[in-house]
Amino acid sequence: MLSIIILNYNHKNLLKNCLKSLKEAGLKLDYEIIITDNNSNDGSQEFLSKFKVYPVKSCKAGSPMAKFNRVKSLKFKVILNSQNNGYAQANNQAIKLAKGKYVLILNPDVIVLPNSIEQLIKYLQKNKKAGMVGPQLLNPDKTVQNSCYNFPKLITPAVRRTFLGKLPGFKKELARYLMLDFDHQQIKEVDWLIGACLMIKKEVLEKVGYFDERYFLYFEDVDLAKKVWQAGYKVVYFPKVQMIHFHRRLSADRSALVSLFSKITWVHISSALKFFIKWRGGRK
């Protein structure tokens, strides 16, 4: 069985398209869909509340007002949080309810293509040492999107988010981190995969302890991949499977100076510091 976990925050229309794509994919396997909404104010909770909602007493994470819905015919559960619990904690709420042998962490801005999910599961079934696998993510214009990376160094966040990335002395570090010399059409064991679409064995999640809830936003996927590798499993980029990702960085269209003073930049910096402190500079 597969548990598909979707975390939503103010992406009602994208969420609808994601769910539509899952329906049109015609999954040929037993599955459930678990959606956590982090107190959206764009009508998402009203959309999800069209189903009868019951309190969830088993969810330790988040507000005691968290709720979920079960519709047997759709294999559908919904958790409605009364506050924004962040990426890690909200995903963990759903993981704790998941009954599948495999867990698909899926962003609402991803369009699932037919037979893509089945191929990811088959890869994990055939490769016992693989603990996590991710597809090739495409931009809406079908160009390849960066979705696999080398682990960051202490300087990497600054190189990515400021003018430093344009300086000759730092371009090499940016290229290393983004794996610019890698043919993204090849299957490859990688350091980490972007959290927009991750297929993970539930037994691996149980062993490594789910997402680290010390991160509110950013670096949860990097940290999880670190733990998967540490537990003796592999993280694999699998471009034979493709999905479309309507990704837009929260820092997009900002100058380096404006970005430096934005709240989201400092959330990113805070998560980076937590990561490097935990992993002793990211090289553990």
Query: Tell me, what CATH number does 56's domain have?
Result: 3.90.550.10
29 phi/psi in degrees, rounded to 5 = -160, 165
- What is the per-residue pLDDT across 6-25, written as a single tens digit (0 to 9) for each? 999 999 999 999 999 999 99
pLDDT of 280 reads 81
Which among 195, 243, 196 has a CA at the least distance from the CA of 222? 195
Asked if residue 176 is part of any domain, the answer here is: yes
pLDDT of 246 reads 95
pLDDT of 265 reads 73
Instruction: Give 53's pLDDT tier (boundaries 50, 70, 90).
Output: low
Q: Where do we find the tokens 């794996």?
A: 179
- Beta bridge partner(s), residue 137: 243
pLDDT of 256 reads 44
Query: How many domains does the chain divide into?
Result: 1
Q: Can you tell me the distance from the alpha carbon of 36 to that of 80, in angstroms, rounded to the nearest whole number?
A: 6
Asked if residue 235 is part of any domain, the answer here is: yes
282: tokens are 């990211």
Which among 259, 244, 230, 227 has a CA at the least distance from the CA of 163? 259
Percentage above 90 pLDDT, the chain? 69
Checking if the pLDDT of 268 tops 60, the result is: yes
Minimum mean pLDDT among 106-110, 120-124, 141-145, 159-163: which range? 159-163
Instruction: Give 59's pLDDT tier (boundaries 50, 70, 90).
Output: very low
Q: What is the mean pLDDT of residues 224-228?
A: 97
Asked if residue 284 is part of any domain, the answer here is: no
Asked if residue 183 is part of any domain, the answer here is: yes
**For the chain, what is the mean pLDDT?**
86
Q: CB neighbours (10 Å) of residue 208?
A: 22
Checking if the pLDDT of 220 tops 50, the result is: yes
Checking if the pLDDT of 257 tops 90, the result is: no
By residue range, what is the domain housing residue 18? 2-278
Q: Can you tell me the distance from the alpha carbon of 157 to that of 176, in angstroms, rounded to the nearest whole number?
A: 13
Strand locations in the chain (E) = 2-8, 31-37, 54-55, 67-68, 70-71, 76-80, 102-106, 110-111, 130-138, 148-149, 188-189, 192-193, 197-201, 234-245
pLDDT of 64 reads 36
Q: Can you tell me the distance from the alpha carbon of 122 to that of 241, in angstroms, rounded to the nearest whole number?
A: 11
Checking if the pLDDT of 104 tops 50, the result is: yes
Asked if residue 166 is part of any domain, the answer here is: yes
Which among 218, 238, 235 has a CA at the least distance from the CA of 156? 218
Whether pTM exceeds 0.85:
yes
pLDDT of 245 reads 98
Ramachandran bin of 188, using left for φ above 0, alpha for ψ from -120 to 50, beta for the remaining angles: beta
DSSP state of 240: E
pLDDT of 248 reads 66
Checking if the pLDDT of 52 tops 60, the result is: no
Which among 245, 244, 226 has a CA at the least distance from the CA of 235? 226
